[in-house]
Chains A and B, each alone.
Chain A
């Protein structure tokens, strides 16, 4: 049953790749990649259960966090064309993240 779930998630990932390849805008592709990352976490966890090695869940925790950082980094890069800009709201110039960077 876990194996069936694993294959179902893999089918879902294949369908998402279609959207990532033919998505008309950049944001469709980023959405597909983000959802793909969420499913990758599920696949890693289910694979651990199928193989009987639940240590895989550690990797799944790390992948969750890396997926988030990757999405934010892609969006930031396509908005500012650089990774060096401190992320702060324009309406809030005295943001804490901004001044501790210099």
Chain B
């Protein structure tokens, strides 16, 4: 039984580095996807949604990858501290942004868009 657990431990020590690297890479790619959304979407309120991909899944996956590759338990605690702070603060600041824009009188575009017109035109109109 002890041998079995030792085997699992050894396998985990080998496997966790490629796994963590893959999670980091996937999260970074999701960051780029969110940025593409920020560049493409037509108005401010929809861009917030695209930016929240970066804030939740992109940053979350990169930090999970870092936690998998952690060489010491203190590093693990620090990575989880960053994750907690990041999830709390980025969500709060995006709410503050949207609330400030709404209070200042920026009107969102409502209703279906895309499909019928050219999305490039909608970008360039402003």
Name A's interface SS: helix
B113 at the interface (CB under 8 A from A): no
Measured CA separation A86–B2 after assembly (Å): 61
B92 at the interface (CB under 8 A from A): yes
Q: Mark A55-93, 1 if CB is under 8 A from B, else 0.
A: 001101100110110011001001100000000000000
Interface size on A, residues (CB 8 A): 43
- Which of A5, A25, A28, A32 sits near B21, CB closer than 8 Å? A5
Range for the number of chain B residues in contact with chain A? 35 or more
| Contact present for A45 and B39 (CB under 8 Å) | no
- Which of A1, A6, A32, A65 sits near B85, CB closer than 8 Å? A65
| Contact present for A45 and B62 (CB under 8 Å) | yes
Measured CA separation A8–B93 after assembly (Å): 24
Measured CA separation A48–B106 after assembly (Å): 40
Measured CA separation A68–B90 after assembly (Å): 7
A75 contacts across to B, CB distance below 8 A: 96-97, 100
Measured CA separation A87–B63 after assembly (Å): 32
| Contact present for B97 and A27 (CB under 8 Å) | yes
B79 contacts across to A, CB distance below 8 A: 45, 57
- Which of A8, A19, A24 sits near B31, CB closer than 8 Å? A8
What are the 6 closest A-B residue pairs judged by CB atoms, nearest first?
A: A1-B21, A8-B28, A68-B89, A5-B24, A5-B28, A24-B126
Chain A positions near chain B (C-beta within 8 angstroms): 1-2, 4-6, 8-9, 11-12, 15-16, 18-19, 24-25, 27-28, 30-32, 34-35, 38-39, 41-42, 45-46, 49, 54, 57-58, 60-61, 64-65, 67-68, 71-72, 75, 78-79
Q: Can you give 16 A-B contacts (C-beta < 8 A)?
A: A2-B21, A5-B28, A9-B28, A19-B47, A27-B106, A28-B44, A31-B44, A31-B51, A34-B51, A34-B94, A38-B55, A45-B63, A57-B78, A61-B85, A72-B96, A79-B103
